[in-house]
Chain A
């Protein structure tokens, strides 16, 4: 039996009286892409934050490669091999773009002992090149457009050389053309292999997204959340015919 890379068992998180995430369990393999969808406020971002250790679950257990990770600090989780992006991008605005990625290259996971600044800079440049914003490497991050900020987030996430990436709305606010490009990058990343000097093992992914059309093409499985609970978990093809899903998006009695 192949062991699972990520295993959630009845994870729950409430904010005051609001159950943002309630009793969520799922397992994923090390080559899966899982799509996480649901209407606004369904608890998708909260779930990402729970896995990445920014928030701590009230109950339940999160296991990464058979190791319990809830309760660990965010940086420990990242160094174990999970990286993630923020839905509302959080770059270091007053630092050059390359420095934004260099911080990730300096995490204990990614950095070899005694690596020099020049080497780290070259590595960061590779990641920027992969994300397609290497030409602006020396500009301040505050000058980037929405789409390029999303790219920067992705570059930062892959710079820690993760085995599991959690992407929170990678296409949010992007134009159709930009979406297409980003989708291509993500697919390329998932397949793994060499991009220039960059080597990727093909990480597992959880993608939160509202643009279902793109997501359905990429994901192996879709998990639908509503009011913090799992509505259903199915293959992308089954989604269109699933009555519960349509109901939670359009409201009861829409059909």
Chain B
């Protein structure tokens, strides 16, 4: 029995994973994430990876809405903040444990997605971006207006930990990240994903196909809000404080930068970008004057030379598409691994 499963697993790894560099990378990434606490127990390192996991969920959720569906959101912190505040209030005042307050926070975020999504249905492009930008600012105003409930500038502190032990926290966050990304990736590569792509390409033409675009746009808003909400809830309980910084404009832009850097409309690209950029940013923390400068130069460079984003660009370097069956192949192969057509 065990031998059978080991053998199946081995054959999957050999036949499906090790044929493509990108798959190998994802595989080793997952293994590394799972094994990290075994190798190192450095609290600083774990903290950075945990935050990177949280931001990876957040960035992927932005990609779902803005990259796939083309509903450019410049106020994605709204969903993050709504959920962070909801989880904090539930935990602080009603003593909900984290495993309840995080999902409920995410649901609050879905409601927020409806609230944003419905007025944004008729807007697109710049107008949509400006409207979404304004929502977190409005909520920030409300937060400052009721300091008794929200803690005002100081925020709500003293929240419960996600888990007593550091390793436990790490695994909960890491597994949430892997599950969320996998779900989003699966969703976007299904038939639902085709419709999201089509909404971005030409909404009117999709209506002509008999698809209720309104419904799918709202669904995209809600799904994106849900995952952003998971990230927000995790963040609140990990930092043990929810403050106005979760609603900041800077956070909204940060997620756009990560997404564009990693490659939009991919999910894996935007999530992977966080694992590259976030540690680098943390590393340069001791050098604050140049941190933003270096960062900006990297972004400009990427936008100029790799318009698809860093990770899709890297992928194009090591893999090429079969002209016949459109499956990816490692770049030094002469014939396609699936259909044996000669590769150009």
Contact = CB atoms under 8 A, between A and B. Distances in A.
A108 B198 CA distance: 16
A84 B208 contact: yes
Contact of A78 (B190, B201, B209): B209
Interface residues of B, number: 20
B142 interface: no
Given A54-B204, A95-B198, A102-B191, A79 B326 contact: no
B211 A95 contact: no
A95 B209 CA distance: 15
B210 A117 contact: no
A216 B204 CA distance: 31
A106 interface: yes
A106 B191 contact: yes
Contacts of B208: 52, 54, 74, 78, 83-84, 86, 90, 156-157
A75 B215 CA distance: 11
B205 interface: yes
Given A103-B194, A103-B206, A117-B190, A75 B201 contact: no
Nearest to A139: B326
B325 A79 contact: no
A73 B206 contact: no
Contacts of B204: 54, 74, 90
A110 interface: yes
Contact of A92 (B198, B210, B213, B325): B198
A90 B202 contact: yes
Contacts of A79: 210
A208 to B, nearest CB: 15
Nearest to B190: A117
A52 B209 CA distance: 11
A156 B202 CA distance: 14
Interface string B187-199: 0001100110110
Contacts of A117: 190-191
Interface in A53-98: 54, 73-75, 78-79, 83-84, 86, 90-96
Chain A interface extent, by class: 20 to 34
B124 interface: no
B205 A75 contact: no
B207 interface: yes
Nearest to A156: B209
Question: Which of the listed residues A107, A159, A160 has the most CB atoms from chain B within 10 Å of its own CB?
Answer: A107
A45 interface: no
B197 A120 contact: no
A91 B205 contact: yes
Contacts of B201: 92-95
B212 interface: yes
A38 B203 CA distance: 29
A83 B325 CA distance: 31
B194 A95 contact: yes
A224 interface: no
Contacts of A104: 209-210
Nearest to A100: B198
B207 to A, nearest CB: 4
Given A90-B202, A138-B325, A160 B209 contact: yes
Contact of A75 (B190, B197, B213): B213
Question: Which of the listed residues B201, B204, B208, B210 has the most CB atoms from chain A within 10 Å of its own CB?
Answer: B210
B307 to A, nearest CB: 13
A210 interface: no
Interface string B125-138: 00000000000000
A95 B204 CA distance: 16
A188 interface: no
B210 A107 contact: yes
A132 to B, nearest CB: 19
Contacts of B212: 73, 75, 108
Nearest to A160: B210
A187 interface: no
12 contacts: A52-B208, A91-B202, A96-B326, A99-B194, A102-B191, A102-B194, A106-B209, A106-B211, A107-B209, A107-B211, A138-B326, A160-B210
Query: When A and B form their complex, which 9 residue pairs have the shortest distance between CB atoms, in order from nearest?
Result: A107-B210, A78-B210, A92-B201, A90-B205, A104-B209, A74-B207, A103-B209, A138-B326, A160-B210
Interface of A: 52, 54, 73-75, 78-79, 83-84, 86, 90-96, 99, 102-104, 106-110, 117, 120, 138, 156-157, 159-160
